[in-house]
Amino acid sequence: MSLNVSNYKPKLLPVLDKDFRPAVLENRAFIEGVEKSGKGVPLAIALDRGDGLISTYTSKVYAEDAGMDDANFAYVERLVKTLLWIRGGWKIIIGGPKSVGEYIKKAYSKGGIREFDAEFMARVYEKPFTVEVTTYDKVPPSNEVSKPIGRHLDGCRIGFDAGGSDRKVSAVIDGEAVYSEEVIWHPKTQSDPDYHYREILAAMKSAAAHMPRVDAIGVSSAGIYVNNRVMVASLFIKVPEDLFEKKVKDMYLNIAKEMGNVPIEVANDGDVTALAGAMNLNDTNVLGIAMGTSEAGGYVDGHGNITGWLNELAFVPVDYNPNSAVDEWSGDYGCGVKYFSQDAVIKLAPAAGITLEESLTPAEKLKVVQDLHAKGDERAAKIFESIGCYLGYTLAHYADFYDIKHVLILGRVTSGEGGNVILNTASKVLKEEFPELAEKIKLHLPDESNRRVGQSIAAASLPEIKK
pLDDT in tens, 69-125: 999 999 999 999 999 999 999 999 999 999 999 999 999 999 999 999 999 999 899
Alpha-carbon distance 168 to 163, whole Å?
A: 8
Alpha-carbon distance 465 to 467, whole Å?
A: 6
Question: What b/e string do you get for 91-113 counting C-beta neighbours within 10 Å, with b at 16 or more?
Answer: bbbbbbbeebbebbbebbeeebe
pLDDT category at 272 given cuts 50, 70, 90 is: confident
How high does pLDDT run on average in the chain?
Answer: 93
Q: Is the pTM of this model over 0.85?
A: yes
**pLDDT at residue 6 in the model:** 47
Q: Check if the beta carbon of residue 158 is closer than 8 Å to that of residue 169.
A: yes
Alpha-carbon distance 134 to 113, whole Å?
A: 21
- Find the mean pLDDT for residues 251-280: 90
The listed range with the strongest mean pLDDT (202-206, 231-235, 297-301) is 202-206
Q: Check if the beta carbon of residue 185 is closer than 8 Å to that of residue 125.
A: no
Query: Which of 413, 454, 465, 448 lies closest to 170, judged by CA?
Result: 454
Q: How many CB atoms lie within 10 A of CB 131?
A: 20
Question: What b/e string do you get for 251-281 counting C-beta neighbours within 10 Å, with b at 16 or more?
Answer: bbeebbeebeebbbbbbbbbbbbbbbbbbbb
Of 21-35, 193-207, 212-226, 438-452, least confident by mean pLDDT is 438-452
Q: What would the pLDDT profile of 60-75 be if each residue is shown by its tens digit? A: 999 999 999 999 999 9
- Find the mean pLDDT for residues 413-424: 95
**pLDDT at residue 221 in the model:** 86
**pLDDT at residue 2 in the model:** 45
Q: Which residues contact 363 (CB under 8 A, 6 or more apart)?
A: 165, 166, 184, 293, 342, 412
Farthest CA pair distance, the chain:
72
Q: What would the pLDDT profile of 218-252 be if each residue is shown by its tens digit? A: 999 888 888 899 998 889 999 999 999 999 999 99
- Please say if the pLDDT value at position 283 is more than 80: yes
- Find the mean pLDDT for residues 358-371: 95
- Please say if the pLDDT value at position 319 is more than 90: yes
Four-residue CA torsion sign, 201, 342, 316, 404: positive
**pLDDT at residue 436 in the model:** 97
- Please say if the pLDDT value at position 5 is more than 70: no
Q: What would the pLDDT profile of 38-53 be if each residue is shown by its tens digit? A: 999 999 999 999 989 9
- Find the mean pLDDT for residues 345-359: 97
pLDDT category at 182 given cuts 50, 70, 90 is: very high
Of 54-58, 275-279, 300-304, 435-439, least confident by mean pLDDT is 275-279
Q: What is the SS3 assignment for the chain?
A: CCCCCHHHCCCCCCCCCCCCCEHHHHHHHHHHHHHHHCCEEEEEEEEEEECCEEEEEEEEEECHHHCCHHHHHHHHHHHHHHHHHHHCCCEEEEECCHHHHHHHHHHCCCCCCCHHHHHHHHHHHCCCCEEEEECHHHCCCCECCCECCCCCCCCEEEEEEECCCEEEEEEEECCEEEEEEEEECCHHHCCCHHHHHHHHHHHHHHHHCCCCCCCEEEEEECCEEECCEEEECHHHCCCCHHHHHHHHCCHHHHHHHHCCCCCEEEEEHHHHHHHHHHHHHCCCCEEEEEECCCEEEEEECCCCCECCCCCCHHHCECECCCCCCECCCCCCECEHHHCCCHHHHHHHHHHHCCCCCCCCCHHHHHHHHHHHHHCCCHHHHHHHHHHHHHHHHHHHHHCCCCCCCEEEEECHHHCCHHHHHHHHHHHHHHHHHCHHHHHHCEEECCCHHHHHHHHHHHHHCCCCCCC
**pLDDT at residue 338 in the model:** 97
Q: Is 172 exposed, middle or buried (0-12, 13-18, 19+ CB in 10 A)?
A: buried
- Please say if the pLDDT value at position 174 is more than 80: yes
Q: How many CB atoms lie within 10 A of CB 323?
A: 10
**pLDDT at residue 260 in the model:** 95
Query: Which of 129, 142, 51 lies closest to 92, judged by CA?
Result: 129
**pLDDT at residue 228 in the model:** 92
Q: Which residues contact 14 (CB under 8 A, 6 or more apart)?
A: 20, 385, 386, 387, 389, 390
- Find the mean pLDDT for residues 401-411: 93
Q: How many CB atoms lie within 10 A of CB 50?
A: 13
- Find the mean pLDDT for residues 435-463: 81
Percent of the chain topping pLDDT 90: 79
For the domain bounded by 146-467, which CATH number is listed?
A: 3.30.420.40
- Please say if the pLDDT value at position 449 is more than 70: no
**pLDDT at residue 4 in the model:** 45
Q: Check if the beta carbon of residue 101 is closer than 8 Å to that of residue 133.
A: yes
**pLDDT at residue 186 in the model:** 93
Alpha-carbon distance 59 to 46, whole Å?
A: 12
pLDDT category at 457 given cuts 50, 70, 90 is: confident
**pLDDT at residue 268 in the model:** 85
Question: What b/e string do you get for 412-426 counting C-beta neighbours within 10 Å, with b at 16 or more?
Answer: bbbbbebbebbbebb
Alpha-carbon distance 181 to 177, whole Å?
A: 11
pLDDT, greater one: 355 or 466: 355
Alpha-carbon distance 268 to 310, whole Å?
A: 9
**pLDDT at residue 3 in the model:** 42
| Domain layout of the chain by residue ranges | 10-138, 146-467
